[in-house]
Chains A and B, each alone.
Chain A
Amino acid sequence: EPEVTQTPSHQVTQMGQEVILRCVPISNHLYFYWYRQILGQKVEFLVSFYNNEISEKSEIFDDQFSVERPDGSNFTLKIRSTKLEDSAMYFCASSERGGRYGYTFGSGTRLTVV
């Protein structure tokens, strides 16, 4: 069964540092997403990406965040100048076409900002 792979599984960073979370989506999927879940809260949408550009983003996804597909397989989320409140589980997901058959999620990266 094809999987979405995320690395690292856990990242600890100092406040103010930049982090890059990495994802390898399913190879024939065209749409890519980042979500996050702060402990005890709902899973929240951050951004969707299609055809090498952002197709939709939430209010959370401000100038501190950026996404990139640097090559044919990786999809990254960069968080600049991390804050304590950025601590969360970050999930990458991909889908064939707009999610009609559901999204395939990775198992997440636990980001802890200290």
Chain B
Amino acid sequence: ILNVEQSPQSLHVQEGDSTNFTCSFPSSNFYALHWYRWETAKSPEALFVMTLNGDEKKKGRISATLNTKEGYSYLYIKGSQPEDSATYLCARQGSGYALNFGKGTSLLVTP
């Protein structure tokens, strides 16, 4: 079983705070690490797909890093806004197409 673990399980921050979450995954037979943003009653939305060790990707105030040797990825949100409130899922892709998801980090940003 290829367990993908995310921490923390949930996070409550004030508007303007910066925050980060962790995703750890088995590093063997690794192809890609995906991050998705999932708002309640909507579909998960792709944020990043990273494949190379040391990869860093950025989309507005959100960025992510990847360490494939030790098997972890960080997602950072700078200056959190209420609209960032969502569940953030990471998923490991191995040699095939299947994504192995973590349980997610639920973020609540209050004004």
Contact check: which of A91, A98, A107, A108 meets B97 at CB < 8 Å?
A98
User: A17: shortest Cβ distance to chain B, in Å?
Assistant: 26
Q: Closest chain A residue to B99 by CB distance? A: A45
The answer to whether B98 and A100 touch across the interface, beta carbons within 8 angstroms, is no
The 10 closest A-B pairs by CB, nearest first: A102-B46, A45-B98, A43-B101, A107-B43, A105-B43, A48-B97, A56-B96, A105-B44, A102-B49, A42-B101
Assess the A107–B42 pair: CB atoms within 8 A.
yes
Which chain B residues numbered 72 to 111 have a C-beta less than 8 Å away from chain A? 89, 91, 93, 96-103
Given A100-B32, A103-B46, A105-B36, 9 further pairs, Cβ under 8 A: A41-B103, A42-B4, A42-B101, A42-B103, A44-B101, A45-B99, A99-B93, A102-B46, A102-B47
Q: Of all chain A residues, which has the CB nearest B101?
A: A43
In the complex the two chains form, is A99's CB within 8 Å of B101's CB?
no
Residue of B at shortest CB range from A5?
Answer: B43
Chain A neighbourhood of B101, CB < 8 A: 42-44
Is A31 located at the chain interface by the 8 A CB criterion?
yes
A to B contact number (C-beta, < 8 Å): 64
Contacts of B49 in A (CB 8 A): 99-102
Residues of B within 8 A of A55 (CB): 96-97
Task: For residue A60, give the distance in angstroms from its CB to the closest CB of chain B.
Answer: 11
Min CB distance A33 to B, Å, is: 7
A99 to B48, CA, bound (A): 11
Residues in B neighbouring A91, C-beta threshold 8 A: 43-44
Nearest to B4 among chain A residues (CB) is A42
A41-B51 Cα distance, complex, nearest whole Å = 26
**Complex-state Cα separation, A95 to B98, whole angstroms:** 12
Q: Chain A residues near B4 (CB, 8 Å)?
A: 42
Q: Indicate whether A31 sits within 8 Å of B97 (C-beta atoms), given known contacts A100-B32, A106-B43.
A: yes
- Residue among A33, A56, A101, A108 making CB contact with B43, cutoff 8 Å: A108
